[in-house]
Chain A
C-alpha cells in the first residue's frame, strides 16, 4: 500500500541525480537519437545498440556523438545468436547499466530528436527502471510528426526510408544506430530550417 512512498524515498543512482539537476537550466542543443532493439515490446525486448549526435546551431557536431553496442547476453543466449561478431568488431561495447549511464550523461537536458522517438524513449525508460531510475524528462521531437506538420498530411506515417527518399539523403550500405541517427539528423536539419525552428 505504501509502495509509492517507498519509491519517493528510494535513493536514485548518482548519475540520475545529476541528470535531474541539469533541468534547472534551459536546453542549449538537440540530441538526435536512434536505438536498435530486439523487438517492439518495451517490457520484454532490450536495446541492442545506441547512436546519437548533437545538433548545435544548425549543424551536426560529429565529435559530440555517442555510439555503443550493448552486450545483452541474455538476449543473445536465448536466441542462440553468436556474439562473435560483436566481440570481434571495433565498436565500443558496454553492459546495459554502463551504457545507459553514459547515454544519460551525454544527453543531459538536450531536446531529443528521433524517428518515432516515443518508442525509443519507452525502451530507455524500461531499461532505466531496471537501474532504479526515473523516467526520461527531456523534451522530444519526432521527425515524422515534423514532416507531416510541414506538409499538412495527417492520414499517413512516413518511415525513415520515405523521408530519406524525399530529402534525397544518400543511402548507405552500412546499417547501424549511428548511421540511422546521422540520417535522422540530416532530415532534422532540413525540416528545422523549413519549419523555422530555432
Chain B
C-alpha cells in the first residue's frame, strides 16, 4: 500500500517534470516524427514497399524515443542531487522504479498514439476499423516493454560516461523480442482481422516479456541505484 502510494507519487513527479521540460518533450516528439520522414527517404517511393515497412518504421521510431525519454527522466533527477534525496526517503527502490516506469510508459504510449496516424499517413497504410483494439493492445504492451527496459538501463547508466551511446547498445539487443512482436502484431492489425490468431501469438510474446522483465527489473533495481 505504501509502495503503491510511493510509486504513484514518483510517477506524478516524473510526469510533471516531463510536462514542464516542454522543450525536451517537444524535441522528442519531433525526433520521432522526423525519424519517420527520414526512414521514408531511405526506403524510396515504391508504395507497396512503403506500406509494408510502416509498422517496422513506427516501432524503430518509438524505440529511439524510449531511449531518449528514459535517459532524460534520469538526467533531470540527477542534476541537483535530487534523486539522491529521493532515495533517502523511506520508499522501496522497486516502488521508485515502478513509478518512473509508469511515467515513462504513459509518455511513450501517448507518443505512440500520436505517431500511428503520422506513420500510416506518410507510408500510405490504413488501419481497418475492426482492428483498432488490436492496435491499441499492441501499443500498450509494446511501449510497456520498451519502458521497462529503457527505465532500468537508464538508471544503470545514469552516472556513467558515454551514457547516450551506451544506453541503446545495452538496451536494443534485449528489446529484440518486443520490436519483433510489436511490428508483426501491428502488421497483422493493418492487414485486417484475418490474421488475428497469428497476431495474438505475438501479443502473447509481448505480454510474457513484459511480465517477466517487470518482475526481474523491479526486484534487482536496488542493486543498480544503491552505490
**B partners with A:** no
Q: Which A residues fall within an 8 A CB radius of B?
A: none
**Which residues of B line the A interface, CB within 8 A?**
none
